[in-house]
Amino acid sequence: MTTTMSALPARAPRRPATGWFAPGSWSLFAVRRGGRFLVAIVVLVTAAFLMLQLIPGDPARESVGATAPVEAVNLRRHELGLDQPLWVQYFRFWGGLLTGHPGTSITLRMPVADVIGSRFPATAELAVITLVVVLVLAIPLGLLAAALTRGGRRRGLELGFTSVTGFFSVVPEFLMGVGLVYLFAVSTQLLPVAGRGGPTSYVLPVAALSIGSTAALARIVRAEALGVLGNDYIRTARAKRMPAIRLYLRHALPNLMTSTLTIAGLFLGSLIAGTVLVESIFAWPGLGMTIVDSIRSKDYPLAQTLVVVYGAIVLGINLVVDVLLAILDPRSTIKES
Amino acid sequence: MAARSTGSPWRTALLAPTGLAAAAGLAVLVLLVIFGPVIWGADATTADPLSLSQPPGAVHLFGTDAGGRDVLARTMTAARLSVLMALAASVFGVLCGVVVGSLPSVMPPRLGRAVVSIFNFAIAFPGLLLTIFLSVIFGQGATGALFAIGVSIIPVYARLTHTLSSSVGGRDFVAAARILGVGKVRVVARHILPNIAGPLIVNASVTAGGALIAFASLSFLGLGVQPPEFDWGRMLNEGLSKIFVNPATALAPGIAVVLAGIVFTLAGETLARATGVNPGLTHRLPRWIPRPALPAGNVLDDVSGNASGDAVLRVRNLRVAVPHADGWREPVKGVSFDVGRGEVVGIVGESGSGKSLSCLSVAGLTDFPLKVTADTIVFDGVETLRGEHRPAGVSARAVERLLGTRMAMVFQDPMSSLNPSLRVGGQVAEAGFIHGGLTRRQAWAKAVRRLADVKIPDPARRARQHPHELSGGMRQRAMIAMGLMGNPALIIADEPTTALDVTVQREVLSVLHDVQVDSAAAILLISHDIAVVTGLCSRVLVMYQGEIVEEIATADLVAGRARHPYTRALLAAVPTMDTDRSQPMATIAEVPA
């Protein structure tokens, strides 16, 4: 861009998207966003590596226990690779992650990769089903609430909606889980309470994870929808006298998607954290129980790798959300920022 | 908000239901923290081997746990540890966060940016996950959990502090302090932090609630408080396995966590309202006293207009009421007028004179809570309003269809009146298949023809574009094309050229003129620009303070035969090429209505 270009008013010309890395082009977005993702992964792996070094005291001693003999401590130190120079440890850590052999679990006596491979699907299932449930329920609910209460209509309904969703969004997932266990397993014995088996075994864990997020997201969708419904283009749409369904779904909903998706991305992240607790309540054989056990038993190789796995999941979600936003938003403001 | 409250905002916020609940809840929590272990401490730790895992009963209100200890007493006693730990973690996290968040303001810029990117990286991870990660380092136990939770709060608060202080840091008083040679640290401590304290305190309450739940989570997972110490989370951990024997062992501490969490949330909300960070709920509407509707057939025909014979639009005694804190006010006070078929009528008046509101009411586009009443509104031979409602014999569908096909609207700001997410062609075509009985494909083809009619070049390509790809003038023409999808008898154009620059104004007006000639539709043109109105209209209604003060033919108006002083003042205020530019511009004094 030369000086003649910068002299023009900022919004006047749409810059022609010529050349491989023209501003606003997909390739530039891919390089920038992909680059940021890679940097974040590097930082994540480095932070997970440094965890072992930051543990107060001697990790090897911590790991085997205070009463163990010196030989055992030295053996463990060797197992953990702590007898190597720091940079060797660092590159070994990277090598392990990249080759898919990030060491051996101390307590389980099996390769960390195998532990994760056998546990990951259960957690992923739980998270994906929950996400679908949350999105399918929260968006119509929030939109409906906005449609019914826009412009200060039905104050009673507004109060009811905000209090009920407010309450459920305050209750954390694991307490929701305890409550559900009480209601559906102790009082009524309708649903199985532990383990992963038939379809019914999914009901309670998914409900525990999704109720709070649904309530919170529905609140946000309502607030956003109220903003959208106040726009001039909704008045234009109303001037065409279309059925209400079309007004809300065709004219309001697309304008809600950007902000809803941004927030849903954040929720999905905290949902991943929620799975750790909910898995523990329902004895769900996923990664959550594994990371808790690895921390309690000071199984550092397993814990470190799980930190990387969980961290990468969250970073991956952020990446996917950004890509979706870039596709959905016709103005592609994200692509250009 | 201040206009309504009688006392200080603090008083108003505290006396609201949320404020009262928050105050009561906080009082209970404080009492429990101080006196809980004193009153129930002994019962909580005394094991009764004869009554293990008893269900709730007279002696033990919530029963006993696996160790034979009273669940109620344990829940009450655990309040101290649970709340204090959460507060300690929050205080640690908030203080460190504020310090870290202030660092970029006092550090060299390069180093500052590095700090910002570190906490922006950490914030990508949800708090609880970060806490669990940090537990790897700090290990299991109460102290470890305290630091893990505290540290995970730091990035959130650092970012909040940084964002807030960046916005304050750009203001004049901070710049003035810098010029006066006040040191960077002193600027932050004396000028920036006091000005962002409000939102920081409000969020601290929310953070404390979050920390309470995080602590319960960690203890529940066995990573937090270790036996024989117990907090609510630890009790849950032990109680869950006994939930089939005595559900209260898990439910009592669970309910305690939820209630305490709600108290912190309500406290945050109250603080937010008191400090003005967040306004409260919408106000109740004042009581509406309906005006008695005129009996059918008794509509006064007192309009002197020359088009009363075959009017496409007939409006009698139109009133619009808007709720205010002290009752209903009427920005439109009884407006009556006619628009003849094919006639071009202008409405002029200053901002707030009620001209736009009148036209929106005629089109049935006013929104709750506005109240529209009229003796009658007849459009295209169908009465659409009588009194407050649609007359009994007219179906809602028929009115919708009539207004959707026979009345076209063009609004003031073409930048905001088209839907940014939908293609222009689709938005234009829509009217065709909603009412016109066309298929989507036919409607699209017709939309492209209509876009061509309003002189949009390359209409097939433009139809596939989104509004942001069109210029302002083109968007306004697309709005006109939208109205032409039906067979309009009346086009209401509400300040159609105000948001456009002068050359584009001419194009849009000429398109409107051509449309009127081609389709024989009447036009009701609202404007505050007398020049625009006299150029296009044959008759002009002058509105002032919600009433039509004069109705005059354009020829008379131009010839200076206006009778009402307001009309004359309005004309005098229009500058011409020979206006003396050394004199101040003419203004309009308040005319008693």
- CATH number of the domain residue B366 falls in: 3.40.50.300
B46 located within any domain: no
B523-578, pLDDT tens digit by residue? Answer: 999 988 888 888 888 899 988 888 888 888 888 888 878 888 888 887 777 776 67
Same domain as B173, residue B35: yes
Domain count of the fold of chain B: 2
CB contact under 8 A, A251 and B419: yes
A282 located within any domain: yes
Poorest-pLDDT segment among B95-99, B305-309, B435-439: B305-309
pLDDT of amino acid A4: 40
Same domain as B349, residue B255: no
- At B466 the three-state DSSP class reads coil
A79 located within any domain: yes
B198-207, pLDDT tens digit by residue? Answer: 778 878 888 8
Same domain as B333, residue B235: no
Q: What is the distance in angstroms between the Cα of B138 and the nearest Cα belonging to chain A?
A: 7
- Tokens 């106000």 belong to B283
Q: Which residues of A touch B209 (CB under 8 A)?
A: 170
Domain span at residue A272 reads 116-296
Q: Which residues of B touch A274 (CB under 8 A)?
A: 128
pLDDT of amino acid A35: 87
Residue B63 has pLDDT above 80, yes or no: no
- CATH number of the domain residue B92 falls in: 1.10.3720.10
- Structural contact between residues B420 and B466, judged by C-beta atoms closer than 8 angstroms: yes
Same domain as A332, residue A253: no
User: Between A and B, how many CB-CB pairs are < 8 A?
Assistant: 196
* Closest alpha carbon within chain A to B18: A163
DSSP character string of B367-415: -TT-EEEEEEEEETTEEEEEETB--TTS-HHHHHHHHHHHEEEE-S-HH
A122 located within any domain: yes
Q: Which residues of B touch A281 (CB under 8 A)?
A: 240
Closest partner residue to A170 among B139, B261, B367, by Cβ? B261
Percent of chain B with pLDDT over 90: 6
Q: What is the Cα Rg of chain B in Å?
A: 35
Q: Which residues of A touch B400 (CB under 8 A)?
A: 241
pLDDT of amino acid B296: 47
Residue B212 has pLDDT above 80, yes or no: yes
pLDDT of amino acid B96: 92
Write out B250-299 in H/E/C secondary structure.
Answer: HHHHHHHHHHHHHHHHHHHHHHHHHCCCCCCCCCCCCCCCCCCCCCCCCC
The verdict on A244 touching B (C-beta cutoff 8 Å) is: no
Same domain as B193, residue B334: no
The verdict on A150 touching B (C-beta cutoff 8 Å) is: yes
Domain span at residue B19 reads 14-39+72-275
Q: B129, B242, B498: which to substitute to probe chain A, counting the most A Cβ within 10 Å?
A: B129
A317 located within any domain: no
Q: Which residues of A touch B427 (CB under 8 A)?
A: 236
Question: Where does the pLDDT of residue B588 fall: very low under 50, low under 70, confident under 90, or very high at 90 and above?
Answer: low
Q: How far is residue B498's CA from residue A233's CA, in Å, rounded to a whole number?
A: 17
Same domain as B77, residue B205: yes
A141 located within any domain: yes
CB contact under 8 A, A277 and B220: yes
Q: Which residues of A touch B240 (CB under 8 A)?
A: 178, 181, 281
State mean pLDDT over A114-119: 85
Residues 186-215 on A with a CB inside 8 Å of B are 186-187
CB contact under 8 A, A240 and B482: yes
Q: How far is residue B58's CA from residue B56's CA, in Å, rounded to a whole number?
A: 7
B466-514, pLDDT tens digit by residue? Answer: 888 888 888 888 988 888 888 889 999 988 887 778 888 888 888 888 8
Q: How far is residue B487's CA from residue B402's CA, in Å, rounded to a whole number?
A: 10
Residue A160 has pLDDT above 70, yes or no: yes
Closest partner residue to B223 among A14, A182, A295, by Cβ? A295
State mean pLDDT over B276-293: 62
CB contact under 8 A, A292 and B285: no
* Closest alpha carbon within chain B to A282: B240
Same domain as A128, residue A99: no
Q: What is the distance in angstroms between the Cα of B364 and the nearest Cα belonging to chain A?
A: 8
Whole-model pTM? 0.81
Q: What is the distance in angstroms between the Cα of A99 and the nearest Cα belonging to chain B?
A: 23
Q: Which residues pair with B373 in a beta bridge?
A: B319
CB contact under 8 A, A311 and B133: yes
Helix (H) or strand (E) holding B313: strand B311-324
B164-179, pLDDT tens digit by residue? Answer: 888 777 777 777 887 8
Same domain as A162, residue A71: no
Residue B584, CB-side half-sphere exposure with 13 Å CA sphere: 3
Q: What is the distance in angstroms between the Cα of A3 and the nearest Cα belonging to chain B?
A: 24
Which pair of tokens denotes residue B92? 């640690």
A6 located within any domain: no
B281 located within any domain: no
pLDDT of amino acid A66: 75
pLDDT of amino acid B92: 92
Same domain as B248, residue B358: no
A280 located within any domain: yes
- At B200 the three-state DSSP class reads helix
Same domain as A194, residue A271: yes
Same domain as A283, residue A151: yes
Looking at mean pLDDT, say which of B51-60, B216-225, B239-248 comes out highest. B216-225
The verdict on A154 touching B (C-beta cutoff 8 Å) is: no
Q: Which residues of B touch A151 (CB under 8 A)?
A: 367-369
Q: What is the distance in angstroms between the Cα of B295 and the nearest Cα belonging to chain A?
A: 29
Q: Which residues of A touch B281 (CB under 8 A)?
A: 155, 158-159, 162
pLDDT of amino acid B284: 67
Closest partner residue to A272 among B126, B240, B401, by Cβ? B126
Same domain as B478, residue B425: yes
B509 located within any domain: yes
pLDDT of amino acid A18: 57
Q: Which residues of B touch A242 (CB under 8 A)?
A: 404, 430, 434
CB contact under 8 A, A240 and B413: no
Question: Where does the pLDDT of residue B3 fall: very low under 50, low under 70, confident under 90, or very high at 90 and above?
Answer: very low
- Tokens 């195998």 belong to A114
Percent of chain B with pLDDT over 70: 91
Closest partner residue to A151 among B139, B369, B419, by Cβ? B369
Same domain as B496, residue B350: yes
Same domain as A134, residue A70: no
The verdict on A171 touching B (C-beta cutoff 8 Å) is: yes
Q: How far is residue B553's CA from residue B276's CA, in Å, rounded to a whole number?
A: 52
B34 located within any domain: yes
* Closest alpha carbon within chain A to B363: A239
Q: What is the distance in angstroms between the Cα of A216 and the nearest Cα belonging to chain B?
A: 14
Domain count of the fold of chain A: 2
Helix (H) or strand (E) holding B492: strand B490-494
CB contact under 8 A, B140 and A292: no
Q: What is the distance in angstroms between the Cα of A254 and the nearest Cα belonging to chain B?
A: 6
Residue A40 has pLDDT above 80, yes or no: yes
B326 located within any domain: yes
Helix (H) or strand (E) holding A88: helix A86-99
B581 located within any domain: no
Q: Which residues of B touch A15 (CB under 8 A)?
A: none
* Closest alpha carbon within chain B to A171: B258
CB contact under 8 A, A155 and B284: yes
Same domain as A141, residue A269: yes
Residue B586 has pLDDT above 70, yes or no: no
Closest partner residue to B125 among A187, A254, A314, by Cβ? A314
Closest partner residue to B244 among A159, A186, A277, by Cβ? A186
Residue A123, CB-side half-sphere exposure with 13 Å CA sphere: 26
Report the complex ipTM: 0.80
- At A270 the three-state DSSP class reads helix
CB contact under 8 A, B254 and A153: no
- CATH number of the domain residue A167 falls in: 1.10.3720.10
Same domain as A77, residue A195: no
Average per-residue pLDDT for chain B: 81
Same domain as A120, residue A89: no
Closest partner residue to A331 among B126, B250, B468, by Cβ? B468
Q: How far is residue B275's CA from residue B273's CA, in Å, rounded to a whole number?
A: 5
The verdict on A80 touching B (C-beta cutoff 8 Å) is: no
Same domain as B247, residue B329: no
Same domain as B271, residue B318: no
Stronger pLDDT, A178 or A189, i.e. the higher one: A178
pLDDT of amino acid B297: 46
B375 located within any domain: yes
Same domain as B472, residue B390: yes
Same domain as A188, residue A168: yes
B579 located within any domain: no
Same domain as B458, residue B315: yes
Q: What is the distance in angstroms between the Cα of B323 and the nearest Cα belonging to chain A?
A: 11
- Structural contact between residues B525 and B532, judged by C-beta atoms closer than 8 angstroms: yes
The verdict on A5 touching B (C-beta cutoff 8 Å) is: no
Q: Which residues of A touch B244 (CB under 8 A)?
A: 186
Q: Is B302 exposed, middle or buried (0-12, 13-18, 19+ CB in 10 A)?
A: exposed
Residue B16 has pLDDT above 80, yes or no: no
CB contact under 8 A, A255 and B421: yes
Same domain as A217, residue A74: no
Residues comprising chain B, all counted = 593
pLDDT of amino acid B300: 46
Question: Where does the pLDDT of residue A13 fall: very low under 50, low under 70, confident under 90, or very high at 90 and above?
Answer: very low
Residue B293 has pLDDT above 80, yes or no: no
Q: Give the Cα-Cα-Cα angle A88, A89, A93 (nearest 5 degrees).
A: 115
Q: Which residues of A touch B221 (CB under 8 A)?
A: 276-277, 280, 292
Same domain as A172, residue A243: yes
pLDDT of amino acid B477: 87
State mean pLDDT over B339-362: 88
Report chain B's terminal Cα–Cα distance, integer Å: 31
pLDDT of amino acid A299: 79
A322 located within any domain: no
